[in-house]
Structures are given as C-alpha cells and as structure tokens.
Amino acid sequence: MMQRFRVLILVGLATLAADQVTKYLAVSHLTEALDGRTGVSRLEGFFSEQNLDNYPPVEGSYRRSTRPYRFIEDYWHFRYVENPGAAWGLFGNLPESVRRPFFHLVSLSALGFIFWMYVKLAEDQRRVRWALALVTGGALGNFVDRLARGYVIDFIDWHWRNQPGMRWPTFNVADAAICVGVGLLLLDSLRERRPVESVTPGGQVV
C-alpha cells in the first residue's frame, strides 16, 4: 500500500516544504515582520505575524511590507501580497466568518477528491500520479496558510513593463505546482490510448 502512495507522499510533502520555505523567505526579506527576531522566534513570527501589507489599512498601524525586489527589471519582481480569496482574489470580500469556513471546506473537499482519484489510477498512469501529487502539495501549501492566518501569502509578480492589463496575478510556489499538475492532467487526457484487449473463452484476443 505504501508503495502505491509513494509518489503522492514524497512529491506532495516536497512541494509543501518548498512552498512554506519560500513563503518564509518572502516574509523574511519582503516585510519587516521578522526584524529583530532570531532563531525559533523567527519561525514563530512567520506563523503568528499577520496583516503585513496592511490592506485594507488599519487605523493606527502602518504598512509592514517593503518595496518589491526587482529580480528582472520590468518583468519579474518579488512582492509581498496577502490574498484572502481564491485565484485572482475571488471571494476575498466575503465576511471572514463565512470566508474561512468556506475555503476550509473547499480545500478539504478538493483533497478528498484528489485522494479518491489517486486510488482509482491504473499502474501505468505515472504522469497522472505526478500530476495529482503536485496538485496535492500545492493545495496543502495554501491550506496551511489559511489555517494559520486566514489568507494566502503570494510573492511572485510577473508583468510586462508595468503596463496596465499586462500583469499576471501575484502567485506562489503552491499555485505554480497546481498549474503544472493540471497541465500534466490535460496532456494525459490528450494522449491516445490503446483499446483494452480481452480474451474470449476460446482463447481469441478481441
């Protein structure tokens, strides 16, 4: 049984780890939240400090995120953003008492569906195993964010010379893993499949 779920466990956990480590680096380098902290205190602050981009503004507080890091000028920046909604900020304006349970339910339902699909896979569907493992890791990464903070940390900012309408929504490693996984699933769905051969009682293959 463990052999069957090896890809799901290893790839899923590796994706989750990569997502959380890069989000820690984003908080560490793109905000002031961990300034003055050392050792375990920095890790504790990563999960406990909230509202670092101060949007919407809170009376008496100030924006704690710093200026974006220009990795490739005009095309690729690292910019700290807190996304309370889904992709493209969908449902981000829902009241928190509704939004949090809604996204927890959606995340758990999605993970359950992925697990059910994984169990149903045939032995030769290796590409689909990797795809579902990547989607699982990405879903877990964003789910951990929502459990700890109520929002998802995004920090990868792709755009074309800051032109209006030429900016991709800010995303993270978990989002990238989900997109790659879905892409692999689409590729697999387009693959030509050989018809299943069956044998008649007389020994003929049909």
Give the per-residue pLDDT at 11. 96
Higher pLDDT, 4 or 77: 77
- Domain ranges in the chain are 6-190
In this structure, what token pair is assigned to residue 13? Answer: 């956990």
**What pLDDT shows up at residue 99?**
83
| Residues with catalytic function | 154, 175
* Bridge partner residues of 78 (DSSP): 69, 156
Rounded distance between C-alpha atoms, residue 145 and residue 93, angstroms: 18
Per-residue confidence (pLDDT) for residue 2, from 0 to 100: 67
DSSP assignments along 62-85, one per residue:
---B-PPEEEETTTEEEEEEEE-S
The per-residue b/e assignment along 43-61, b for 16 or more CB within 10 angstroms, e otherwise, is: eebbeebebbbeeeeeeee
Task: Give pLDDT, residue 82.
Answer: 93
pLDDT single digits (tens) 92-139: 777 888 888 888 999 999 999 999 999 999 888 999 999 999 999 999
As a whole-number percent, the residues of the chain with pLDDT over 70 amount to 87
Beta bridge partners of 21: none
Cβ-Cβ contacts under 8 Å for 70 (sequence gap 6 or more): 77
Split at pLDDT 50, 70, 90, the class of 199 is low
> Residue 6 corresponds to which amino acid?
R
What is the arithmetic mean of pLDDT over 20-41? Answer: 95
| Residue of 100, 95, 96 whose CA lies nearest to 145 | 100
Q: Which of 95, 44, 102, 74 is nearest to 166 (CA)?
A: 74
Tokens of 170: 């800010």
- The answer on pLDDT for 205 being more than 60 is no
pLDDT at 202: 60
Which whole-number Å values give the CA distances from 169 to 38, 47, 79, 104, 140, in the listed order?
A: 32, 24, 11, 22, 20
Band (87; pLDDT cuts 50, 70, 90): confident
Percentage of the chain exceeding pLDDT 90: 63
pLDDT tens digits for 11-29?
Answer: 999 999 999 999 999 999 9
